[in-house]
Structure 1
Amino acid sequence: MRPPGERRMQMEDCMNRSVVFALAASVAAWSACAHAQTTEWTLAYLSVKGTIYEEVALAIPERIETATGGRLKITANSSLVKGDRLLESVRDGLVAIALPLPGYYSGTQPMFTVPSLPGISESYDDLKALSASDYGARIRVLYHDTYNATQLMETAFCPQTLFSTKPITTVEEWSGKKLRVNNRGTGLVGAELGAISVSLSAGEVLPALERGVIDGVITDTCWAHGAGFGSVISHASDWRLGSVAPSPVLVNNEAWAALPEDVRALVAAEFGKIEADFEARWRQRTAEMPALWRAAGIAYAEISDAEMARVYADAVQAPVLAVWKADMERAGLDADAVLQVARAAVGATR
C-alpha cells in the first residue's frame, strides 16, 4: 500500500494533467471556431489604371477586413476574369464579388444603355438620381434575378471624354473618324454623326492610337490619363453624350446569404461609407482633370451648349432612340416608359 503522501501527489499530478488537457482542448476549440468564423472572398475587377473604379476595387479588401474585425477577408484579383465576363463570374460563383462594367453588356442588355443616352447621365448627381429612381430599382432587380447578384454600392467612372489625334470639336469633325467606344449608346450617336465605331479591348486602345488604327477613343478621362494616352493623342473634347457611367459592386447571392447576419450588417454599413467616400473622391478627381490635360500639352476643348444642341437635335437623336427602342422591344421591355422615368429622374428635357 502506497503512503498517503505519495497517493496525494499522484492525485495532484492527475488533476494538473487534466487541467492542461482541458486548456489545450479549449484553445483548439477556440482556434477552430475562430477559423470557421473567417470567410474569404475573391474580388474580380478589370485593371484600368488611374480610375476611381480601380481605387475602389483596391480599397475594398482593407476597409472590409477592418470593419469586420477580420471575419471577412477579400482578395482583389484583376487577372482572374476578363472585363467582359465579370457579370458571369459573380453570377456563377466563380468569385464572390465583382466590379462589372455595365457598358460592356449594353449590346445585349438594353437597360444598361440608358445612362449612355445623351442628356441622361451627364453628372454624378444625375447618376445618383437615376439610381434612386424606379429605373435604378429595376437595374438592381436585374442584377439579382438575372445575374444572381446583390448590389452593395455604386460608384462611377470619370467623365467619358473624346481623346483623339485630330481635333473633333464640331459635329462636322466626327465624320469619317474611326473611334473606339465602350457602350452601345455612344456607338449609335457616333454613327449618326458619321463616325466609324471600332471594337477594341482596353489593352488594345493605346497601341491602336499609336499605329493610327483608330483616330480616337471615348473613355474615362482618369483612365486615359493614368494609361498614358497623353503620349499619343493631341486633343481632348468633353462631348456630353452620357458622360457619367455607373460602376456597381456586386456580390453573389449565395455568398451574401452565407455570411452571418451580424457580419452582413457590418459589411453593408461599410460599403455605404465607401460609396460616400468615393463620391467625394470622384468629384475632387474629375475637377482636376481638364487642368491636368492642358498641363500635359493636350488641346482640351469644352464643347459649347450650342454645339451640343446640334447633337441633341431630333435629326440625330430620333434614329439613335429608334434603334435602342427596337433593342428594348426585342427584350420585351417598354422603352418609352423607361425613358420617361429616366428623364424625369434627372430633370432632362431632351
Structure 2
Amino acid sequence: MDIDVFAAAHAREWERLDELVRRRRSLTGEEVDELVELYQRVSTHLSVVRASGQDPVLAGRLSSQVARARSAVTGSHASSWADFAGFFTSVFPAVLYRLRWWWIGVTVGTLTVSTVTGVWIATNPDVLAALGTPESIARYVEHDFANYYVENPPGSFAAQVWTNNAWVAAQAIIFGVAFGLPTLGVLFLNAVNLGMAAGMMFSLDRGDVFFALILPHGLLELTAVFVAGGVGLKLGWTLVSPGPRTRLRALGEEARAAVAVALGLVAVLFVSGLIEGLVTGWITNTWLAIGIGVVAEALFFAYVFTVGRKAHQEGETGDIENAPAAVPVAG
C-alpha cells in the first residue's frame, strides 16, 4: 500500500471528522450521524495504517483523532488517574523514544565540550589562574564545592534544585522555537560550567571528590537536561525541515510533543532533586551514593527503551493535542 496515496484519498474525511469533533456541542441530528459514521470509518483507517507500519507519525495522529472522536461520540471521559497513568505509560515514554537520537546526540556533544573544557583548565596553569586567585580556587575545591550540597536543610535544598533544573530544562525546550539557537547556547553554557568545575577539582587532585558528589544525582539530572536540549533542537529543526507536513502543522505537532516532555521531565527532575537533596553529600559511603544514582539512571533508560519503545511501535507520538485529556490538571 502506498501510504501517501492512502492519506491523500482520505484526508478530507479526517479533516471533516476534526471539524465535527470541534463543534460537537452544536451539531445537528444529521451531523451527529455523520460524526458516528466518520468515527467508525477513521477507526478502520487507523487499523490499516498501523498494520502497514509505514508511517508511525500518521498512525499517532489518527490515534489521537480517533480518541477525541470516541470521547465526542460516547460523551465519556476517563478519570484523571487513568489520564495520569496513560501519560506516563504511553505519551511521555513514546516521545522520549521517538526523539532518542536527538538527546543522545546532545549527551555526546555536551560531555565532549565538558571534557575538553575540564582538561584544558586542569592542564594549563594560565587558564586556571584566569578563573581566580590560588586562594579562591583552593577554597572552592577544598570547601565550597562539597559544602554547597549540605549547607541548607535537605528538604528546602531539594526543592530549590528541582525548581532550578526544571527551569533550565524548560528554557532548553522553549528556545527551540527560535530555530534551536538559544537552546544550543543553554547547553553550551551548562557544558562549560560543568567542565570548569571538573577542571578546578582535578587541578588540585580532587577529581575523586568531584565524581563522588556529581554522579549520585547528576546522572539522572543531566540526562533530563540533555533530553530537554534534544527536544528543543528537534523543535528548531522542524522549522528548517518540516518534511512532508506543512511547516505550521509540523511545528504544532512537535510543539505539543515538546509540552509532553516538559511535563514528564518535571517528575524526572523531582527524583533527581530528591537524590541531590537527600543523598549527595549526606550519605558518606561513596559507592552507595553513586549506586543510587546508577540505579535511577538505569531505571530511566529501561523506561525509555521498553515502555517507550512499545508505545512508539503502537503509534503513539507524544502529540498531546487534547492536553487536558492527556495529563492531570489542577482542579
State which structure, 1 or 2, has the greater radius of gyration over its C-alpha atoms: 1
> TM-score, length-normalised on structure 1?
0.30
Structure richer in strand, relative to its length: 1
The structure, 1 or 2, with the larger RCO (C-alpha pairs under 8 Å, 6+ apart) is: 2
